[in-house]
Amino acid sequence: MSKKKIIQASKGTYDILPQDQTYWDKIRKVAQDTAADFGFLRIDTPLIEEQELFARGIGLGTDIVEKEMYSFSTKGRDKVALRPELTAGVARAFIEHGLFSLSQPLKLWSVGPIFRYEQPQAGRYRQSHQIDFEVFGSADAVLDAQIIQVAFWFLKKIGLKEVVLHINSIGCKDCRGLYRKALLDYYRRNTKKICPDCKVRLKKNPLRVLDCKNEKCQDVISQAPVMVDYLCDGCKEHFKETLDYLDELEISYYLDSHLVRGLDYYNRNVFEFFLPQQEDKKSLALGGGGRYDGLIKLLGGKETPAVGLALGVERIIGEMKKRGVKVSGRAAPEVFLLQLGNLAKRKGLKLYEELLRNKISVAESFSRDSIKAQLKLADKLQAKIALIFGQQEALDDTTIIREMDSGVQEIVPLSKVIKELKKRL
């Protein structure tokens, strides 16, 4: 007989097994606390959106939309895509539900999966998860600084303290035009020294040549004109103000003139967060974001300046593990309920519920019949008290309370067991 093929998780996706859930619990809890600390309201948007939303929002010429998006037509011929990020969906919801009528700036946050058809490797998945913070309705640089503060706050609470901020300004549509021209002129003079990919980028999305990783291009990149020299007065002032606020917050930053980001909706400040790595290791961003003052209008809403960022959960958990960040697992149960015999097993199920109703944390192993095996488990789980409920006790409506440390035992009537346990715990 032929052996059935074992089906595995689809390439670039993975299961979050029970032993990893403690990391996720911690991340969710810290994200929720951080959001509350800084006044963000939760929003959840669908995993599926119209393709057009991402094409318009993130940009048709971007790698994300062009190469990495899971796009398909439904049976009803709707052209949809699995979301490759959260910002576009949140912006759509902001417009669709008239959230601009709420008091501005409006701070929204979300957490959930994103999908990108990328070549899987450490820290790069086809289904990954982001924690997303967005602020709508203010162009004030103080919010650029605050959103960065939020990321640092979150990462510190998670246990990642040495985060380095890379920041740049990519200007607005006016000054970026001048810069693009200067960059193109410079690259035209150097076409022989660049890789074939960059030749394509120059035609489609010139700024992206700056974050080319090909060895061949590094010399050209290092001598390229830098955006900050071309910023208009407004963008320059905005950038300077942001840096002043960061100084005030004692957040150190690296002025990264090559940081351009892979999404078209950005203007002015863009930033990414890294952790220092061992020398031979390339660093992957833990998160990134920036200002996107034109997106809401581009999607059909009113002119609404905005700024936001997203943190990558898998990369954060990867670093927590690498750096030995401790996360507390499930707390030890106060009581372990041991049973022996059919009647005790039946009555035990109900007794278990009564303990829970009285807010006593309890564990059990109803499928084990040996008292010895159950005691061993109670010990392993570090329960303080074992409640022994055997055939005789079930008949007499009593139970034995055993202190796990000392081994001292006492028989108590079932009617008094809760009171007795509460006294001892």
Which residue ranges make up the site for ligand HAM (CB under 6 A)? 85-87, 116, 118, 123-125, 128, 130, 132, 134, 262-263, 285-290, 292, 308-310, 312, 314-315
At position 133, the amino acid (one-letter code) is F
Give CA torsion, residues 95, 101, 107, 109, to 10 deg.
Answer: -40
Question: Least distance to ligand HAM from the beta carbon of 33, Å?
Answer: 20
125/239 with CB nearer ligand HAM: 125
290/390 with CB nearer ligand HAM: 290
- Assign 408 to helix, strand or coil: coil
Question: Least distance to ligand HAM from the beta carbon of 290, Å?
Answer: 6
At position 256, the amino acid (one-letter code) is D
263/385 with CB nearer ligand HAM: 263
Structure tokens at 338: 């041991």
Measured between alpha carbons, how far is 415 from 402 in angstroms, rounded to an integer? 17
Tell me how far apart the terminal alpha carbons of the chain are, to the nearest angstrom. 58
Question: Least distance to ligand HAM from the beta carbon of 253, Å?
Answer: 16
Question: Least distance to ligand HAM from the beta carbon of 329, Å?
Answer: 25
* Orientation angle between helical segments 141-158 and 21-37, nearest 10 degrees: 150
239/292 with CB nearer ligand HAM: 292
115/336 with CB nearer ligand HAM: 115
208's CB contacts (< 8 A; 6+ apart) are 201, 260, 262
Question: Least distance to ligand HAM from the beta carbon of 116, Å?
Answer: 4
3-state DSSP percent of the chain in helix, strand and coil, to 5: 45, 20, 35
130/399 with CB nearer ligand HAM: 130
252's CB contacts (< 8 A; 6+ apart) are 164, 165
Q: Which position has the token pair 């820290």?
A: 123
107/116 with CB nearer ligand HAM: 116
Measured between alpha carbons, how far is 289 from 14 in angstroms, rounded to an integer? 26
Instruction: For strands 385-389 and 409-413, give the pairing.
Output: unpaired
Structure tokens at 180: 């693009």
Radius of gyration of the chain (CA): 28
Query: Nearest-CB residue to ligand HAM?
Result: 312
120/177 with CB nearer ligand HAM: 120
Length of the chain: 425
Question: Least distance to ligand HAM from the beta carbon of 71, Å?
Answer: 16
Question: Least distance to ligand HAM from the beta carbon of 8, Å?
Answer: 19
Question: Least distance to ligand HAM from the beta carbon of 165, Å?
Answer: 13
